[in-house]
Structure 1
Amino acid sequence: MIQFGDVYRGRRVLLTGHTGFKGSWLALWLSRLGADVTGIALAPETVPNHWDLLGLDMASHLIDIRDKEALARVMAQTQPELVLHLAAQPLVRRSYREPIDTWAVNVMGTANVLECCRQISSVRGILVVTSDKCYENQEWAWGYRENDRLGGHDPYSASKAATELVVSSYRDSFFQADGAAALASARAGNVIGGGDWSEDRLIPDIVRAVGNHAEVEIRSPRATRPWQHVLESLSGYLLLGQRLLGGQKDVAAAWNFGPEAEGNRPVQAVMERIAALWPELRWHVARNDGAHEAQLLYLDSAKARAGLNWRPVWRFDAALAATATWYRSFLADGTVLSEHQLDQYVQAAGNAGLAWCQP
């Protein structure tokens, strides 16, 4: 399959957050596409972790994005053409414990990345990844669109809204001139998939509990989220990157990448489906600890469907099955199915006739 017009082959790509769950999957995909990838991130927080398990042969710099001088040095050395910024403090509940760090990493860290980008003439495109939680949650029964109001109750959500404002400000102030890099942002739903061991996330909590022969504690069984496999959001990011590298300034905007309506499910429905796939799973509802979390959250991705010809590949059941299969294989004998599942996903995209994947 020819993916994304083969635009990534030999291109210099700087990827921040490459040691994280989403970033490591993106590093794998970029490497398979033939990109010359340089990563900037902190060391992985868990053992095991997806980044170490992949063992990718690419340049990796363990740098805190709050260190602007270190960022600038790496960017000056590597002269990237495309910058994909995923590094962040990504956890809602940690943001209650560490609000200042959350704001510093997510907001000022992004400002540092953008400030460095505008000093490097090689940069043609920049994509900043934020979150579906950047919207001011109204508990609406319909999806949030890119022009809906930004905001957030918890420090994480508010910091992601602020990050979007930083992106908008830099775009308007510094990236409008002829020859300037094109700057876009992306907001995805709740991603799942193999290789995530983060704290306070549903799937990693399930994996840890099953591995320890314990029950999973579920905080909000009725909370509804837009569940999607991690590769769905990454296909959107790579599609945007293709357009940014092509100099298409019309894509320099905010974009949602969420599942079809059938992927919006309550936590309890996710648990029931995984239990059918993974009979060892046992769970119970925990007492509320008082930390506020949104109960109803949808994304409207009509803009990406119309403007980028993007759409999801794996539906809800397929995404859960791939996730459960990855972890069951790893727990059984240490097999890492990431490359195999990426191949399956690309093949499914080609069979579905998606524009970014052609025979």
Structure 2
Amino acid sequence: MEKLVIEGLPSRDFWRGRKVLLTGHTGFKGAWLLFWLEAMGARVTGCSLAPEQPRSLFAELHAPERLASETIDIRNADDLEGLVRRARPEIVFHLAAQSLVRRGYSDPHGTFATNVEGTNNLLQALAQVKTVRAVVVTTTDKVYRNVNDGRAFVETDPLGGHDPYSASKAACEMVVEGWRSRLADEGCSIATARAGNVIGGGDWAGDRLIPDAVRAWSSGETLKVRRPEATRPWQHVLEPLRGYLVLAESLASADASAPAYNFGPRAESASVRTVLSLAAREFGEVRTDFADTPEGPAEAHKLDLDPTLAETGLGIRGLWDLDRTVTRTAGWYRDFLSGRPARELCEADCCAYLEDVRRAAMACIR
């Protein structure tokens, strides 16, 4: 019974005192993952640029004394190597990236340099230390060659990318493959994690659906939506983070056998229009302008992931449906803007999520 309960949950015993290197820890997903790792007692070294937005979830959640944190650009191989040698981590989560599709068009050089060269710099540095047992490199659901046929992608589908961001992440996957054997020689396992579109409280980045909606609606402005019928595999941020943690544990124990895993909802992808309709319920009277014709550079119209491999290999099954995911996300922003502390709101989401995971695990063994 205990094994079944633990199967889909990170193990506190594994993470307590574990030396972890987390790149991108000041970003949206990075701040949430750091919050979870700290709660389990991990010894985390963070490597990231300073937060870009005036508001920062990282700044709201973490105090300097809790974390060994360094401001480093992963494109600087020497600085990154020095950090790795000082930290001597056992587990590495690589989240640092240029993660915005539209910025990829405006700064393709920076996007490729960060996502490809930066990843290569990190893996080269990790190969030179003898302490690392597991590396999880996060890429994206957009690494696949997408012909908009509506079919859910599986991990063995061809990689591609019709825009600089997507192509850079597909290239990042190839960098990982190029280092796999060398890292294995040093006793280190590595895998990539391809997550669907992630939402949750505390994301303030530009050109992202929920943050843009919150900024517009909380200011009494009209939200302008470019592609209301585009579909994505939306999921709450805690869903893929649980996957990353369990994947790292499996890699460290040599249980994970696949080079890449999809993390996404089991349900069919939902449209931008549907997500915004659910979010608007938490904000009351809001104004949204849905465009008749798409504006801006090309983006995939349909995108869906098949998460079967993560379900069967890691015991990670999507838990929160779209309604619960969007409601908790929009509610987080509403309550934060009303004065509730970010840490309190994140703790509430984590407690609710973990309780639901435990209930689901117990239901499986009845």
- Fold agreement, TM-score > 0.5: yes
- 2:349 pairs, out of 305, 327, 341, with 341
Query: Partner residue of 2:310?
Result: 304
- 1:98 pairs, out of 85, 94, 107, with 107
- 1:180 match: secondary structure: coil
Query: Partner residue of 1:324?
Result: 330
Identity of aligned residues (%): 47
Structure 1 gap ranges (5+): none
User: 2:144, 2:158 within 8 Å by CA — same for their partners in 1?
Assistant: yes
Whole-Å Cα distance in 1 between the matches of residues 154 and 286 of structure 2? Answer: 36
For the structure 1 residues 260 and 242, does the alpha-carbon distance in structure 2 shift closer, same or farther, using more than 3 Å as the test? Answer: same
1:275 paired with 2:280, answer yes
State the 1:290 CA deviation.
3.7
- 2:127 pairs, out of 118, 123, 140, with 118
Whole-Å Cα distance in 1 between the matches of residues 128 and 183 of structure 2? Answer: 11
Query: Partner residue of 2:56?
Result: 49
1:72 paired with 2:81, answer yes
Query: Partner residue of 2:235?
Result: 228
Query: Partner residue of 1:216?
Result: 223
Query: Partner residue of 2:158?
Result: 149
State the 1:340 CA deviation.
1.7
- 2:10 pairs, out of 1, 4, 15, with 4
Whole-Å Cα distance in 1 between the matches of residues 230 and 300 of structure 2? Answer: 7
- 1:261 match: secondary structure: coil
Whole-Å Cα distance in 2 between the matches of residues 79 and 176 of structure 1? Answer: 17
TM-score with structure 1 setting the length = 0.95
- 2:190 match: secondary structure: strand
1:189 paired with 2:213, answer no
Whole-Å Cα distance in 1 between the matches of residues 74 and 362 of structure 2? Answer: 35
State the 1:333 CA deviation.
1.0
- 1:352 match: secondary structure: helix
For the structure 1 residues 151 and 354, does the alpha-carbon distance in structure 2 shift closer, same or farther, using more than 3 Å as the test? Answer: farther
User: 2:10, 2:242 within 8 Å by CA — same for their partners in 1?
Assistant: no
2:97 partner amino acid: A
Whole-Å Cα distance in 2 between the matches of residues 123 and 175 of structure 1? Answer: 9
1:36 paired with 2:43, answer yes
Deviates more, 1:221-230 or 1:309-318: 309-318
User: 1:195, 1:327 within 8 Å by CA — same for their partners in 2?
Assistant: yes
Query: Partner residue of 1:288?
Result: 294
Matching of residues 124-273 of structure 1 within 5 Å: 124-172=133-181, 174-177=182-185, 179-248=186-255, 250-251=256-257, 253-262=259-268, 264-273=269-278
Whole-Å Cα distance in 2 between the matches of residues 274 and 65 of structure 1? Answer: 35
User: 2:282, 2:334 within 8 Å by CA — same for their partners in 1?
Assistant: no
State the 1:354 CA deviation.
7.2
1:296-319 alpha-carbon deviations (Å, 9 max, x no partner): 000001111111111012111111
- 2:69 match: secondary structure: strand
Whole-Å Cα distance in 1 between the matches of residues 212 and 159 of structure 2? Answer: 29
Whole-Å Cα distance in 2 between the matches of residues 278 and 354 of structure 1? Answer: 35
- 1:143 match: secondary structure: coil
Whole-Å Cα distance in 2 between the matches of residues 165 and 347 of structure 1? Answer: 37
State the 1:334 CA deviation.
4.2
State the 1:276 CA deviation.
2.2
Whole-Å Cα distance in 1 between the matches of residues 298 and 236 of structure 2? Answer: 25
Matching of residues 11-30 of structure 1 within 5 Å: 11-30=18-37
User: 1:255, 1:303 within 8 Å by CA — same for their partners in 2?
Assistant: yes
Deviates more, 1:281-290 or 1:149-158: 281-290
User: 1:186, 1:257 within 8 Å by CA — same for their partners in 2?
Assistant: yes
2:70 partner amino acid: H
Whole-Å Cα distance in 2 between the matches of residues 90 and 266 of structure 1? Answer: 21
User: 1:184, 1:251 within 8 Å by CA — same for their partners in 2?
Assistant: no
TM-score with structure 2 setting the length = 0.93
Whole-Å Cα distance in 2 between the matches of residues 242 and 40 of structure 1? Answer: 21
Whole-Å Cα distance in 1 between the matches of residues 149 and 308 of structure 2? Answer: 17
1:222 partner amino acid: E
State the 1:245 CA deviation.
2.1
Count of residues in correspondence between the two structures: 353
Root-mean-square deviation (Å): 1.8
